[in-house]
Chains A and B, each alone.
Chain A
């Protein structure tokens, strides 16, 4: 059976996630598009901070007591909020904003029923534009350095590194045949 703690965890996690969406949507209207990752992380952290302050506020107002129940509520809500955010970034935001398929669909969709030839499509969207856009984002977020035409590896642990490693490992694991 569902209990009050169960509902309190889910409500806090969904509330935090909605706050994250609002904060992200508002902040993205004013930021440089190359600073996407930095602002996604900041939006996530600001919401975490807001959530912690909310929890402390409840404690201060004596609505809840510090103890194992409070610790479970806090840790489980933050876990679900983090998982919701990861799902949103990887499954929706990433697909809508930077997925090559969706960008191609977007370019083709802009022409409506007139259509677009492969040549024109490649003029607007090609390997060079894809790579330079991503390199610009890496440099802006400080993950890569750039000097005299050369890009330098700067950060050892980043979102893209973790993402790339997970995908690489999964590909190897799924391509390995069982004897």
Chain B
């Protein structure tokens, strides 16, 4: 069980280290560099686990399990960090937190807490910045890169029998 403890401690150290680097080198720590840091951390942790389990098998007996737990914890943390970096407020979570605060609200009052600018335009701009769409003569058109993602989404939605609307 020490291997699992080692994974959780390594994960907590990584979180602290990332936060420290973010505070010290803010412009350099973007979502891309965070992905790089986390990938390096996963690879290093896995290598270390296998090295220690080879040198001292009585100390670390489940290197693969431990590496999986560490990698999956890092992935969950990265998913949560994306909304911090993109400065998003997912509407479902925001609605639920509003309801937990005010206890009862009408649709009109809930809608007042949201604006097309933050909810739609900001995300359209992100799609433009990520080159998934482009703007031509006031029209938004999908790029080949966006088309690939669109096809993946389409296949997945059809697999689930999801309504296209």
Contact for A29 among B4, B57, B62, B160, CB less than 8 A: B160
Cβ A105 vs Cβ B120 within 8 A: no
Cβ A28 vs Cβ B124 within 8 A: no
Chain A residue contacts of B157, Cβ below 8 A? 96-97
Chain B contributes a number of interface residues (CB within 8 A of A) equal to 77
Cβ A116 vs Cβ B149 within 8 A: no
> With A and B bound together, what is the CA distance between A3 and B57 in angstroms?
10
Give chain B nearest CB distance to A100 CB in angstroms.
5
Cβ A9 vs Cβ B104 within 8 A: no
Mask: chain A, 79-91; 1 = CB below 8 Å from B; 0 = not? 1100110110011
| Interface SS of B by simple majority | helix
> With A and B bound together, what is the CA distance between A45 and B54 in angstroms?
37
Chain A residue contacts of B79, Cβ below 8 A? 87, 90-91
Which residues of A are in contact with B by a Cβ distance under 8 Å? 1-3, 5-7, 9-10, 13, 24-25, 28-30, 33, 72, 76, 79-80, 83-84, 86-87, 90-91, 96-98, 100-102, 104-106, 108-118, 121-122, 125-128, 130-132, 134-135, 137-138, 143-144, 149-153, 156, 158, 160-161, 163-168, 170-171, 173-174, 177-178
